[in-house]
Each structure stands twice: as C-alpha cells, then as structure tokens.
C-alpha cells in the first residue's frame, strides 16, 4: 500500500518563491520534490540531537558540496591533499558526535558531559594521529610540504611540553 499524500497550500513571498525556485536539492526537480526534501531535512536535523545516524546524515549533507568541489578541483588540477581528505572525512563525524549528545546533555547533565568529552577527545586524538602520520610521507599529505611543516612545528613543541608535564605529574604521584 502506497503512502497517502496531502495537498498543502502555502503562501510564499516573491523572495521565498525565488529562493525555492533556484534552490538546488539533490534528486529534486519540482517545487514539491524540493519541499519534501526540505521537510525530511528538517526532521533529520531535529532527530540529530539524539540519533547519531541522523547527525551524520545532517553533517555530511552540510559538507557534501565542499567535498565534491575539492575533489573536482583536485582532479582538474592533477593534485591531491590527504590532509583535506582526512579533515573533511573527520569533520562530519566530530560534528555528528557533538550533535547526537545534545538531548543527553540536557537530560543527564554532568554524566553526559563526561561521555561527550571522552567521545570527542578520542575522535580528535585519532584525527591528530592521522595528521601526524602524514608527516611520514614525502609531501606531508599536502599540496605543498611547507604548509604541513610550518603549521605542525608549534604543535610539536607544545606536545613536548605537555609530555614533560605528564611525566612530571606521574613522578609526583609515585
């Protein structure tokens, strides 16, 4: 049995009509298709606050055009950045993790805060490790190795200081 559909009448200003007419929505060609897609998107955004798969869908949707533009431009230019690829893959996952904990934070408070802190820190640490791995390649995973080297230097110096603090703290506890 197919889904029932209802006719909906909507009053839109000229500006809103123009926005809707020029709006690009994947797979949507008619105004009705676009409105259905927008309703599904709004529902997905609402569910993203406590549903990780919906949060991923929302976050990936926000970055889809950027990811596609990067891939097309790289193809045209004959270049590739492992850093950009890894970052644009990690970013929606991190955003989805943060979004999907929103309702839990409101309800559980500190318990949920500790969970999200742990989840996001683990995710961030994996991303940092991934970026550091790029330093083992000749081009440092960037269009120009200079970009990597210039930007990673201060982070590595800070990491040494943090490591010293952790070692010192461990000695004082023993």
The more confident residue out of 151 and 27 is: 151
**Within 13 A of 63's CA, how many CA atoms are on the CB side?**
20
Q: Tell me the C-alpha distance between 68 and 81, whole Å.
A: 14
* pLDDT at position 42: 83
* pLDDT at position 108: 93
Q: How confident is residue 2, by pLDDT bands cut at 50, 70 and 90?
A: low
**In 3D, which of 122, 125, 131 has the Cα closest to residue 82?**
131
| Domain boundary assignment for the chain | 48-139
Q: How confident is residue 28, by pLDDT bands cut at 50, 70 and 90?
A: confident
Digit-coded pLDDT (tens) for 51-64: 888 889 889 988 99
- Rounded to a whole number of angstroms, the distance between the first and last alpha carbons of the chain is 70
Question: Looking at residue 137, what DSSP letter applies?
Answer: S
Digit-coded pLDDT (tens) for 63-109: 999 999 999 999 999 999 999 999 999 999 999 999 999 888 999 99
Instruction: Read off the pTM.
Output: 0.75
Alpha helices in the chain (DSSP H): 14-22, 31-47, 52-77, 82-100, 102-108, 110-134, 145-173
């Amino acid at each position: 049995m197919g889904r029932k559909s209802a006719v909906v009448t909507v009053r839109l200003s000229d500006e809103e009509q123009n926005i809707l007419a020029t709006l690009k929505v994947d797979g949507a060609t008619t105004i009705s298709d676009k409105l259905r897609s927008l309703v599904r998107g709004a529902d997905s955004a609402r569910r993203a606050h406590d549903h990780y798969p919906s949060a991923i869908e929302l976050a990936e949707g926000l970055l889809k055009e950027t990811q596609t533009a990067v891939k097309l431009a790289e193809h045209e230019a004959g270049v590739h950045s492992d850093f950009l690829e890894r970052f644009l893959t990690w970013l929606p996952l991190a955003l989805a993790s943060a979004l999907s904990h929103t309702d839990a934070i409101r309800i559980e408070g500190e318990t949920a805060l500790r969970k999200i802190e742990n989840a996001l820190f683990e995710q961030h640490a994996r991303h940092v490790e991934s970026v550091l791995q790029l330093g083992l390649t000749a081009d440092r995973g960037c269009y120009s190795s200079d970009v990597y080297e210039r930007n990673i230097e201060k982070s590595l110096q800070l990491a040494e200081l943090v490591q010293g603090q952790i070692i010192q703290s461990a000695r004082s506890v023993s």
